[in-house]
Structure 1
Amino acid sequence: MVDQPVPGMVKKEQIDYSPIASWRTSTLFGSFFAIILMTNSIDIKILVWNTQGAKSREFLYTLKEHVRMQRPQIIALLETHWFSRNSAVLDATTPLNVALDELAKQLSNWNKEIFDRVDKHLIGWRTKCLSLVGGTTLIKATLTTIPAYAMQTCRVLRAICDELDRKVRCFLWAGTNTECKPHLVAWATVTRPLEEGGLGIRAMRDLNSASMAKLGWRMIHEPKSLWAKILRHKYCRGRTGIHAIAPGQRPSNVWKALVRDLRTHSIGDGKQTLFWTQRWVTGWLLVEVAVRPVPIEDQQIMVADYWEPNSRWRWEDFADLILEEVHVQIAAYQAYPNTGIHDKPFWGKTSSGTFTIKSTINLIREDTPPMRHDIWSTIWRIKAPQRMKMFLWLVLHGAVVTNANKVRRGFSSNANCVTYQDIEEDITHVLHSCKIAREVWDYFEQADQGMHDLRLELVEWIKLNIGYKASDLH
């Protein structure tokens, strides 16, 4: 977009780096621009900086001989072509090196603004009065949503994401972003969904990647919007639809996975979806599950080409290339030719096909080994105070601060029970096998046949006493 011709100007190979007459900065789609006018009011230097703080492109222009414009007119002309109209004029006599230092400082301030907003909320809360439950609620409702706006339009530095995660971790376990206390459960576990043993707190790197994917999804579904046209013209080289955001020569695994699921199609008339090489009927491309190689010329056939006008599939053309179970799945679909209903991109990670940040984060985390177990969903559904649920969560992760855990973390040298000096004080002993614990359960007089069954492991014992089905114990 910056490379387009400018009326009254011509490009130059080089210019004299004389003192700057004036310069101006602006931002557009995550890039930082600087217009630098030289003292002769003829030569113009344009610098483009990305959000990582590195200069990415440089353009040199000079006014045509017959053109006479004052500096404000030059700025206005360039703004019309490249910049938003709310740019700010800076010092008109700033030397070049100072100007570039100032521009780098703006990049730093852009990052600092996010940190300041997070810190402002942390200072305002009475953190020492918050429990783990209260801290988790505030993190989900406020802290992780503050950077979300900035992450919707640009890739944020990994270092910034990691620093935001650090502030969230410190607040979760210590109640402040500066005080350091033991983190009882690993951050990789905390950021898992509730049903996988986590707390559902979103990691900033994953949130940023999911936001970028949402931008791509919107670009596909809002092709006529001005911002989509600008991005497509600048980055996509005329490509439209899912092809506009196809992976490059060296895509990351995350981006390949995102584009793979964005390529799932909901069939309308079948004229926009390739039968073999685009996802529309199974979790794979049909060409990948074919019983033998599909001819190259057949790989360009559309879904509509295999559909007869009398509402049936042309099985004779492809049935010998697919497995029986795939045959059954295709039979459940039909095309709607001559109806004007076009094929649409379908988000394959939700049953409704609607794009969501949550499903995208789950997709990004697919390479992480799952921790699925019905016990995690069960503890969050029981009718009990949230603090009790959180305590059970810590128990099942073995994170309660017992003497045995203190020794393991290097906080103590004695792992034995205070009352019974010859027995190690672990979680099972504190809650289940200790004589004092059994006396507590007897006091409430609500014990059933499994309350004192010491043969049960701790997890099975908890299941039994929170109403878990007996058939699910083993």
Structure 2
Amino acid sequence: MPRVVSLRLEKIQRDFLWGGGALERKPHLVNWDTVCMEKRKGGLGVRCLSILNRALLCKWNWHFAIERENFWRHVISRKFGEEEGGWSSRDVRESYGVGFWKEIRKEGALMQNKVAFLVGNGRRVKFWKDIWWGNLPLCNFFPSLYAFASFKEAWVEEFWDTSGVEGVWSPRFSRPFNDWEVEEVERLLLTIRGARLSPLMEDRMRWKVTSNGSFSVKSLYNDLSSRRAGLFPHGLIWNPSVPSKVCFFAWEASWGKVLTMDQLKKRGWAVANRCFLCCEEDESIDHILIHCSKARVLWELLFALFGVCWVLPSSARETLIEWRGFMLGKKHRKVWKAAPLCLFWAVWMERNRIAFDNEDFSVHRLKNSFVCNLWVWTKSIVNEGPLTLPSFIDWLGAR
């Protein structure tokens, strides 16, 4: 897939995600690289098409290496030639056009340091430069010896001496050893003494990223897209008992990317930054959901329903990370895990009624919205027959 096509498709994906299902221009709240991360790392698990495309192209380099008898490989090999060992074709150096194999061959570099070799007869594996014994090439393990090796491009077979009964390793060097180098040579021979050649077996390539040694697009994609990320409460956010739109809102809140007044100001809007609920502090998502005096009323209700005493952290993300239910029973713990998402949603809906519908703040409506939603979303967990709202509230307190 040409790069311009993958970029266009990714733009369509972004517009669809943030446009509410319509391909229209709306603010893209979270960086696309973050969206493409795994859910456990804080993303949405959306495939990055540009990385996926590279992994798919690289797959054909793997097939070229292992499918030696296939007709298509003979065609490519005859047209472009092969590198030593026959594991890859030569680089395509055409100065014009965008040949299909030219693009594929460029992505062959992704396989570097991700493949090793299972030595058979040793005719296609470099002794010093390929990974065939251990996790690194021998030239990296023994750089001082490699510096004065006679044949730096030698094949494994060339250093295997079959004159003895069982065969021995006999690497060659360009000069006699100094006294301090003898020990290093002994260490080299001790390292590879367990390796043996099998004259009737072909050398094989092994993919180091997977346990079975076979290449997979998924393994390369995961390796290319891996990013270090801090703790993220993915297990709490993507709760199967909670509606998807509420989970998505909690995900946005965890990244601090909900369109509150502070975010609108960052995007260039000339607006007065004031919390719609308490009208006392600047509005941010952490203030609305955690610190606002109106939201605190709901937190106190939640803790009272479960009979729990807890100190809230400073942010929505930290709250979800630290949210535990160790002292609760199995069913109560499941409801407990849905409770903060339900509270976030109730507070946000109340805020929007005030901001967009010009309604006055109602603590009764806020509490009722929270309790009723929690009951509707989680009553199936209780599994004790028809469960009325009063019975549900009694059940929460009867741990």
The alignment's TM-score, normalised by the length of structure 2, stands at 0.62
Distance 1:364 1:245, change over 3 A: farther
Contact 1:220 1:240 in 2 (8 A): no
Which residue, 208, 228, 247 being the options, matches 1:348?
Answer: 208
2:34 & 2:203 partners in 1: Cα distance?
39
For residue 460 of structure 1, report the CA deviation from its aligned partner.
3.1
Q: Does 1:372 align with 2:229?
A: yes
- Kindly report which structure 2 residues correspond to 1:15-164, keeping only aligned pairs within 5 A, or say none: 156-164=1-9
Contact 1:247 1:259 in 2 (8 A): no
2:393 paired residue number: none
- Kindly report which structure 2 residues correspond to 1:251-400, keeping only aligned pairs within 5 A, or say none: 255=107, 257-261=109-113, 263-268=115-120, 270-292=122-144, 294=146, 295-303=148-156, 305=159, 320-321=183-184, 330=191, 334-338=194-198, 340-365=200-225, 370-375=227-232, 378-379=235-236, 384-385=241-242, 387=244, 388-400=246-258
Distance 1:157 1:271, change over 3 A: closer
2:213 & 2:66 partners in 1: Cα distance?
13
Listed as ranges, the gaps of 5+ residues in structure 1 are: 1-155, 469-474
For residue 438 of structure 1, report the CA deviation from its aligned partner.
2.3
2:67 paired residue number: 222
Read off the aligned partner of 1:402 and give its amino acid letter. Answer: T
Contact 2:121 2:201 in 1 (8 A): yes
Distance 1:264 1:464, change over 3 A: same
Which residue, 294, 317, 320 being the options, matches 1:459?
Answer: 317
For residue 254 of structure 1, report the CA deviation from its aligned partner.
7.5
2:307 & 2:239 partners in 1: Cα distance?
18
For residue 214 of structure 1, report the CA deviation from its aligned partner.
0.6
1:191 paired residue number: 36
Listed as ranges, the gaps of 5+ residues in structure 2 are: 96-101, 173-180, 327-399
Secondary structure in 1 matching 2:207:
coil
Read off the aligned partner of 2:203 and give its amino acid letter. Answer: D
CA-to-partner distance for each residue in 1:387-416, whole Å, 9 max, x for gaps?
254333322221122222222223451222
1:467 & 1:301 partners in 2: Cα distance?
62
For residue 224 of structure 1, report the CA deviation from its aligned partner.
1.5
- Identity across matched positions, percent: 22
Contact 1:432 1:438 in 2 (8 A): yes
Read off the aligned partner of 1:360 and give its amino acid letter. Answer: L
Contact 1:194 1:376 in 2 (8 A): no
1:405 & 1:161 partners in 2: Cα distance?
30
For residue 327 of structure 1, report the CA deviation from its aligned partner.
9.4
2:168 & 2:235 partners in 1: Cα distance?
45
Contact 2:145 2:185 in 1 (8 A): no
Distance 1:240 1:280, change over 3 A: closer
Read off the aligned partner of 2:43 and give its amino acid letter. Answer: G
For residue 459 of structure 1, report the CA deviation from its aligned partner.
3.4
Greater Cα shift, 241-250 or 398-407: 241-250
Distance 1:272 1:232, change over 3 A: closer
1:319 & 1:195 partners in 2: Cα distance?
51
Q: Does 1:170 align with 2:15?
A: yes
1:204 & 1:222 partners in 2: Cα distance?
27
2:88 paired residue number: 243
Bigger proportion of residues as strand: 1
Contact 1:165 1:203 in 2 (8 A): yes
Secondary structure in 2 matching 1:265:
strand
For residue 213 of structure 1, report the CA deviation from its aligned partner.
0.4
1:41 paired residue number: none
Secondary structure in 1 matching 2:5:
helix
Size of the aligned set, in residue pairs, is 305
Distance 1:234 1:460, change over 3 A: same
1:419 paired residue number: 277
1:196 & 1:240 partners in 2: Cα distance?
40
Contact 2:125 2:155 in 1 (8 A): yes
2:70 & 2:133 partners in 1: Cα distance?
30
2:79 paired residue number: 234
1:467 & 1:255 partners in 2: Cα distance?
48
Read off the aligned partner of 1:184 and give its amino acid letter. Answer: L
Contact 1:441 1:447 in 2 (8 A): no
1:435 paired residue number: 293
Read off the aligned partner of 1:406 and give its amino acid letter. Answer: L
Q: Does 1:202 align with 2:47?
A: yes
RMSD: 4.1
1:448 & 1:303 partners in 2: Cα distance?
68
The alignment's TM-score, normalised by the length of structure 1, stands at 0.54
